[in-house]
Chains A and B, each alone.
Chain A
Amino acid sequence: MTYAIKVEHLSKRYIIRHGASASSLKEVVEHLRRKLLTKISSKQQNATRDPFEITVEEFWALNDVSFEIPKGAKLGVMGRNGAGKSTLLKILSHITEPTSGKVSIQGDISSLLEVGTGFHPELSGRENVFLNGAVLGMSRLEIVRKFDEIVAFSEIEQFIDTPFKRYSSGMQVRLAFSVAAHLEPDILILDEILAVGDVAFQKKCLRKMEEISQSGATIVFVNHGVEAIRQFCNQAIVLEKGRLVLNTTDIEQAITLYLGE
């Protein structure tokens, strides 16, 4: 079987600065000034710690991760907060670059790291569908073609020309998910999208994901609740502190490991 995504020795390093946050010009200037001063008067070696001293620490959000996702798989990504799930998805989505390692992807990739990115409260539902579709990479023609379907799925037909800010939060989520659900990528990346919406709509989302999967798409799915993963996924990986600790098709084993951590 051919792969949809092949991840090889993927690592991502973040630099964390302690002491001064180096986020304002003043702090940087002050830091440089002190550095210069200590260089000039090196005899003045006092033991007190410089409050503007910037110490740097490396943090590996992902550390030498390798795995393969076969075409058509439904991969669940599990791990605690800070395990590297979001970093992995951000790299797959092109938002951030890996420090080292390589990912090979076969097919078009669409990712939904957040429901409703780019939605604007002042615009109507209709205008937002077109804007958000464009943000997610759909062409205008594609949106026009799917527009009725998108609106029908979201069940807010009668409010489609109302400003988005007047929608209830449930309606906002339904419309936003609905746009994303009508992407037709070969690979779909989903981050915590079920965290929003009520139970009925969550079920509808899962059905839609199943439908997308059956059309041959590969799905990478991050979810904190294990129930949706148990129900939906046929492969799972578990991340812990940036390292891959398990890659299996035995979902129960992965869930046990994740919960037992």
Chain B
Amino acid sequence: MKSMQTIEAGILAKDYWKRLWDRRELMYYLTRRDLIIRYKQTFVGIAWVAIRPFLTMVVFTVIFGSIANLDSNGLPYSFIVMAGILPWYLFSNLFGDTSNCLIANANMLTKVYFPRLVFPVTILLVGLVDFMVAFLLLVAMMLWYQIVPSWQIIFIPFFIFLTAAFGVGLGLMAATLNVKFRDFQQLIPFALQLGIYLSPVGYLNQLVPRRWEIIYSLNPLAGIINGFRWCLVPQSIPLYWPAVLLSTVVALVVLVLGIKIFRHAEDRFADTI
């Protein structure tokens, strides 16, 4: 006899992770789709992935480095900024796109069944590809400025993981709320616009007065960006441990909570959207 299955209330939650894994080819094709279509009919194509962080870097370097003349611990200011922009863009892309992923795919959501986490995973993969391209830019800058990395560079994947966990986790919560309350669609881009200034992207977190540092670090991106820079140039950028610890805990909690919330509401997405 062929496979036997039953449908009743609560059935979609069973074997969830296996079903998600079974759809890995779908995730591959959706990732491909997102990468291909983004730069179709554009002149410079995939180069846009690098142009956006590059231009942000130029603007921030001029404003924070040349005009405000902030301290850069003896490093080229543009390099400091670039090392902050990389994790920031990874976070903001993951958070923004994940929060929107259900609405953007509403049509598929109401017509075909597969575990809905397929969409966030796709966005994660696209975000990592973008990150890799931008990372090449950073490597090029290190070569240009002759900055030699130390062994601490092996911790880079850890900070990439924290960035992704925090971004995806927040994104999952926002996506769930977005299904019902479209307000978040308006709110999130605005929050991200402010967030880039509240996080140490255009400046070093050492700039924050010592006694405020722990409060400043309540923003998990403070610890993450500090850690990311430390991996690259540990001799010039001291690691602020309490912030890294806090970021790790917050990022993990947010990710787990995000998945829980998303999974809890998932079975009703098609009815509510």
Q: Which residues of A contact B (CB under 8 A)?
A: 14, 23-26, 28, 90-109, 111, 113-114, 117-118, 120, 122-123, 127, 130-131, 134-137, 139-140, 163, 186
Q: Given that A97-B10, A117-B108, A131-B30 are contacting pairs, would A24 and B182 also be in contact in the complex, using a CB cutoff of 8 Å?
A: yes
Q: Given that A98-B8, A106-B2, A134-B26 are contacting pairs, would A118 and B108 also be in contact in the complex, using a CB cutoff of 8 Å?
A: yes
- State which of B8, B28, B32, B33 has its C-beta within 8 Å of the C-beta of A103: B8
Closest CB of chain B to A189's CB: distance in Å? 11
Q: How far is the CA of A14 from the CA of B272 in the complex (A)?
A: 10
Closest CB of chain B to A213's CB: distance in Å? 17
CB pair A107 B7 closer than 8 Å: no
- A sample of 23 cross-chain residue pairs with beta-carbon separation below 8 angstroms, ordered by A number, consists of A23-B182, A25-B183, A28-B181, A93-B113, A95-B112, A95-B113, A97-B7, A97-B8, A97-B11, A97-B267, A105-B6, A106-B3, A106-B4, A107-B2, A114-B111, A120-B33, A122-B41, A131-B30, A131-B32, A131-B33, A134-B30, A135-B26, A135-B108
CB pair A14 B271 closer than 8 Å: yes
B1-44 interface bits toward A, Cβ cutoff 8 Å, 1 = contact, 0 = none: 11111111111100000000000011011101100110011000
Closest CB of chain A to B125's CB: distance in Å? 14
Q: Given that A118-B108, A140-B25 are contacting pairs, would A105 and B5 also be in contact in the complex, using a CB cutoff of 8 Å?
A: yes
CB pair B271 A134 closer than 8 Å: no
Whether B107 is near chain A, meaning CB under 8 Å from some CB there, is yes
B148-186 interface bits toward A, Cβ cutoff 8 Å, 1 = contact, 0 = none: 000000000000000000000000000000001111000
Contacts of B37 in A (CB 8 A): 120, 122-123
Contacts of A92 in B (CB 8 A): 7
Contacts of A113 in B (CB 8 A): 111-112
How many residue pairs at the A-B interface have CB separations less than 8 Å? Answer: 108
Closest CB of chain A to B36's CB: distance in Å? 6
Contacts of B5 in A (CB 8 A): 104-105, 109
Known: A90-B270, A104-B6, A106-B3. 12 other contacts (CB 8 A): A25-B183, A92-B7, A98-B7, A106-B4, A114-B111, A118-B112, A120-B37, A122-B40, A123-B33, A131-B33, A134-B25, A136-B112
- State which of B8, B28, B29, B181 has its C-beta within 8 Å of the C-beta of A23: B181
Contacts of B32 in A (CB 8 A): 127, 131
CB pair A108 B270 closer than 8 Å: no
CB pair B111 A98 closer than 8 Å: no
Q: Given that A131-B29, A131-B30 are contacting pairs, would A24 and B181 also be in contact in the complex, using a CB cutoff of 8 Å?
A: yes
Which residue of the partner chain A has the closest CB to B38? Answer: A122
Whether B110 is near chain A, meaning CB under 8 Å from some CB there, is yes
- State which of A14, A102, A114, A117 has its C-beta within 8 Å of the C-beta of B8: A102
Closest CB of chain A to B139's CB: distance in Å? 31
Contacts of A131 in B (CB 8 A): 29-30, 32-33
Contacts of A109 in B (CB 8 A): 5
CB pair A123 B36 closer than 8 Å: yes
Q: How far is the CA of A139 from the CA of B28 in the complex (A)?
A: 11
Q: How far is the CA of A122 from the CA of B40 in the complex (A)?
A: 7
Which residue of the partner chain B has the closest CB to A135? Answer: B112
Q: How far is the CA of A113 from the CA of B107 in the complex (A)?
A: 11
CB pair B112 A101 closer than 8 Å: no
Contacts of A120 in B (CB 8 A): 33, 37
CB pair A95 B25 closer than 8 Å: no
Contacts of A25 in B (CB 8 A): 181, 183
Which residue of the partner chain B has the closest CB to A93? Answer: B113
B94-147 CB contacts (< 8 Å) to partner A: 107-108, 110-114
Which residue of the partner chain A has the closest CB to B22? Answer: A137
Closest CB of chain B to A220's CB: distance in Å? 14
- State which of B3, B36, B41, B111 has its C-beta within 8 Å of the C-beta of A108: B3
Q: Given that A24-B183, A95-B270 are contacting pairs, would A130 and B111 also be in contact in the complex, using a CB cutoff of 8 Å?
A: no
Q: How far is the CA of A139 from the CA of B12 in the complex (A)?
A: 21
CB pair A105 B183 closer than 8 Å: no
Closest CB of chain B to A119's CB: distance in Å? 10
Q: How far is the CA of A59 from the CA of B69 in the complex (A)?
A: 65
Q: Given that A23-B181, A114-B111 are contacting pairs, would A94 and B26 also be in contact in the complex, using a CB cutoff of 8 Å?
A: no
Contacts of A130 in B (CB 8 A): 29
Q: How far is the CA of A146 from the CA of B189 in the complex (A)?
A: 43
Q: How far is the CA of A93 from the CA of B270 in the complex (A)?
A: 12
Closest CB of chain B to A97's CB: distance in Å? 5
Contacts of A108 in B (CB 8 A): 2-3
Closest CB of chain A to B23's CB: distance in Å? 8
Q: Given that A118-B108, A118-B112 are contacting pairs, would A97 and B25 also be in contact in the complex, using a CB cutoff of 8 Å?
A: no
CB pair A23 B180 closer than 8 Å: yes
Q: How far is the CA of A167 from the CA of B3 in the complex (A)?
A: 39
**Shortest 8 CB-CB contacts between residues of A and residues of B:** A94-B113, A103-B7, A107-B2, A134-B26, A122-B37, A117-B111, A134-B29, A102-B8
CB pair A102 B112 closer than 8 Å: no
